[in-house]
Structure 1
Amino acid sequence: MVDTGFVDGMTPYLRASLGAHGERVLDSEGVPVVSGPAEVGRRMLRATHRRGDERGREALAEAVADAVAEPGNEDALGALRQLIRRALSKDPGLESELAALLPHRTASVVVASGERSIAAGGNIGVAITGDGHGPVRP
């Protein structure tokens, strides 16, 4: 079973690549290399396209064309993600290839320094320092 979170996490890269390259996103030549999410998305789409069978490649090209034609249509982008999920279920090695294209996240270091300071690595809700504060009421 394909991890839907993985495919959903590809959305910003897919959207950026479709916006930057349009229908040419699947072309192997003549497409300028751009940096950032647009290039990651282009490489992901090209890898999915390259590893698919003829029918899968045609369906992917059609879904790309639909998503490019209607950039704000979330259903068109969802259909593209669904085709990627299908390709991943047919080719288990594709997920590792696509995952390798994602930028590696670096670990966050959170440091609290000084009297009554607070350090948090994420959303912790309400944090109050100092004297004279009562309980926080919602």
Structure 2
Amino acid sequence: MTTIAESPAQALAHTDLTGTVTAAFAYEVKSAGLARELVKDTLLRWGLGDLVENAVLVASELMTNAIQTGCRRSITLTLEQIGESAVRISVEDGSRYPPVFIKPGLPTNPDRLPAGGRGLVIVDGLCKRWGLDLRPQGKCVFAEIHGPRRPRR
């Protein structure tokens, strides 16, 4: 089931026990917190509590990147269950500029470090796979989180 909502609360209210939920967000700092809440509540509803901690952090990083583009069109978060214990988080925004991935390591000159860009290092460390899809009106950054396999009954 896919739900397209104007708010995270509305999206959660229409979420099925499994499937896909999609919610639109404003270009505001508080949207990252709303996205975290939506991801947490949805995963708990789906019985995927073991993914909550990593998924909430990944959603927050992807949303923060989208908010910082400043393009002011729309930000859409989609959470979909892609396996028994796996989810894909996608954040689409109206900017075609790709997010910046700063490789981990000690800087040679700390005064020249960019202010951001470390969020994708976190995403890369927590996800089985992540990437970027350019769209005609922006981009979609996605990340897949896999939990432990569940024992068969």
Question: Please, what TM-score do these two structures have when normalized by structure 1?
Answer: 0.29
Question: Please, what TM-score do these two structures have when normalized by structure 2?
Answer: 0.27
* Larger-Rg structure: 1
